[in-house]
Amino acid sequence: MKIILLPYFGGSVRSYDGVISHLESYDCVPLSLAGIGGSPYSVRRAIGDVAEQIASVIEDEFVIVGHSMGGKIALGIAGEQPVGLKGIVLIAPSPLSPEPIPDEVRQSMLQNHGTREAAIATISGATYRQLSPEVFETAIVGNLAYSSTDWKNWLEIGSNEDESALLEGVKCPVLIMTGEFDANMNPEFLSREIGEKISGTRLEVVKGAGHLLPQEAPEEVAELIKNWLQSLK
């Protein structure tokens, strides 16, 4: 069974390096979200683009792990009930409803993207635990690799779109995890927007961590995934 890994907005195929290192017995396939969503951009197109990527690499059963923006995409794909999908893991996920990004934060991210200083500020603001220099640099490189079009598409369109009708189609097992100090994707919000709307959803809080859980707490994230996978058998 393959584990498909979708990163956060601004992340890359390297965003799950630490998690994958603790999932050595699993077939992990990290994907990029850069350039998805078509023109004109829409979340539905982004979901379709990623579903096509997944279809090109899977042969049998699979699960999707989606972080932040990747969680929104994972939920959307699950809502369409693809053959072989056994469940989804949502890490501090954006909901299918509009994401609660404060206007001042949204505008700052739009205006300042593209510089190393802005990338550092974004990553620092999303973490609670200190990242190693190597992990921090990988995050910076991933952030700067996003084009201005990708950046605007998500902040101006994707994060504001409401595709919550797709939740009705989510019938597979769902694990949600979030960081104790994630101000926006907190347990109460995620329970209200996702957990209470999907039967049997399990929610876990990672203590002493912020929004970038795969970078901040890779071993804990991997253990939660492994334990959850065992429960599916």
Q: Hey, what are 113's tokens?
A: 């993207």
Mean pLDDT computed over every residue of the chain: 95
Cβ–Cβ under 8 Å, residues 169 and 199: no
| Dihedral in degrees, nearest 10, Cα atoms 58, 39, 100, 7 | 30
At what angle are helices 43-57 and 69-79 packed, to 10 degrees? Answer: 80
Domain 2-232 architecture:
3-Layer(aba) Sandwich (3.40)
Q: Hey, what are 52's tokens?
A: 């096509």
Question: Residue 202 forms beta bridges with which residues?
Answer: 175
Dihedral class, residue 176 (left if φ above 0, else alpha if ψ from -120 to 50, else beta): beta
177-189 per-position pLDDT tens digit? 999 999 889 999 9
The pTM of this model reads 0.96
Residue among 167, 172, 174, 171 at smallest CA distance from 225: 174
Cβ–Cβ under 8 Å, residues 123 and 142: no
52-110 per-position pLDDT tens digit? 999 999 989 999 999 999 999 999 999 999 999 999 999 999 999 998 888 888 898 89
The answer, yes or no, to whether residue 119 has pLDDT greater than 80, is yes
User: What is the percent of the chain where pLDDT is above 90?
Assistant: 91
Q: How far is CA 4 from each of CA 24, 52, 74, 85, 168, rounded to the nearest angstrom? A: 14, 12, 10, 10, 22
What radius of gyration do the chain's Cα atoms show?
A: 16
In angstroms, rounded to a whole number, what is the distance separating the alpha carbons of residues 98 and 96? 7
**Location of structure tokens 């200083």:** 117
